[in-house]
Amino acid sequence: MPEPASAVRVAPAVWLVDKPAGPTSHDVVAAVRRRLPRRTKVGHAGTLDPFATGLLVVMTGRATRLAPYLTGLDKTYLATMRTGWTSASGDPEGPIEAAGEPATAEAVAAALPGFVGAQRQRVPALSAVKVGGERLYRRTRRGEEVEAPERGIVVHELRLAEDHGGGRVTVEARVSSGTYMRTLVADVGARLGCGAYCEALRRTAVGGLAVADAVAPDEVGGAGGLDPRAALAHLPARELSGEEAARVRHGGAVAAGPGAPADGPVALLAGGRLVAVAQPAADGALRPAVVIEDPEPR
């Protein structure tokens, strides 16, 4: 008899998904979950707004444990700005109002370097950040006056990518995790004195993971996906002996070894496969924080 669906275990995998405009990131995850065996864990590393498209990193099985090592990576976006207008939501949802004479592409290009670097950014009023235990967008839509929190961000790169004419331009940005592109676009518009909102947004990369390698949401599941080790290629790695790998699968620590980093996560490998992600301890050992492989791998 075939194994019941509830007992089938999906191999840990990381999927690069090209999210279309419309569904939420949660919608994409829910659709993937419905196509997989019951009780399969599915998650994502970094939310995309419904109007946005592009790279959504989806994890299945035990790979969902890797989210903390993926969500903090830099993100790269293509954002289409419509200058001369403002949007209460910062995006096409609006309401949208005329705010001034649209800016030229030259004016936008000249303003962009002033936004590169570390800075404080205020969270949009219509965001999912919790304030006082409740999503900020819910309190805003009820008409409550709530001061949105600020957070530290870094804009690593910001350049003009395309001039569409009529005050519409596309900019390419590489930013730290947690950066709101809607807010960055609105801030550029304010600096120009004519207002701007994010008319379209596409995420093209998460760290070294690129949307060019992504699949459609309905192609996720079953065999395939990105090997977890490949998804964590940005982490330093240590190859384990057979005895060490067995110990790590049970949560045991191993010696850091020469050249190991003093802090930060380390990928522990056995034959090139990801067994666990460890953190350096004060005693010089590497202690597993997340174990991916079963104690007795199949």
Determine the residue type at 172.
Answer: E
Domain ranges of the chain: 5-73+208-229, 75-206, 235-291
Reported as a single tens digit per residue, the pLDDT across 111-123 is 999 999 999 998 7
Quote the strand ranges of the chain, DSSP E. Answer: 13-19, 42-44, 53-60, 75-83, 85-87, 96-98, 117-122, 130-131, 134-135, 150-165, 168-175, 196-206, 209-210, 237-239, 254-255, 266-270, 273-280, 285-291
The β-bridge partners of 233 are: none
Interval 115-141 mean pLDDT: 72
Q: How many CA atoms lie within 13 A of 196 on its CB side?
A: 33
Distance CA 206, CA 181 (A): 14
CATH class held by domain 5-73+208-229: alpha beta
Please check the confidence at residue 95 and state whether its pLDDT lies above 50: yes
Q: Which pLDDT score is estimated for 11?
A: 80
Please check the confidence at residue 142 and state whether its pLDDT lies above 70: no
Q: Which pLDDT score is estimated for 5?
A: 44
Reported as a single tens digit per residue, the pLDDT across 144-171 is 666 667 789 999 999 999 999 999 999 9
Distance CA 190, CA 85 (A): 10
What is the CATH code for 235-291?
A: 2.30.130.10
Reported as a single tens digit per residue, the pLDDT across 48-77 is 999 999 999 999 999 999 999 999 999 999
The β-bridge partners of 276 are: 268, 291
Contacts of 114 by beta carbon, 8 Å cutoff, 6+ apart: 191
Q: Which pair of tokens denotes residue 104?
A: 């030229």
DSSP 213-276: G-B-GGG-SSS-SB-HHHHTTTS-EEEPPHHHHHHHHTT--EE--TT--SSS-EEEEETTEEEE
Percentage of the chain with pLDDT > 70?
87
Active-site residues, by number, are: 49
Fold category of 75-206 in CATH = Pseudouridine synthase (3.30.2350)
Handedness of CA 202, 68, 221, 38 (dihedral sign): negative
The β-bridge partners of 197 are: 82
Reported as a single tens digit per residue, the pLDDT across 235-282 is 999 999 999 999 999 999 999 877 677 788 999 999 999 999 999 988
Domains 75-206 and 235-291 in one fold: no
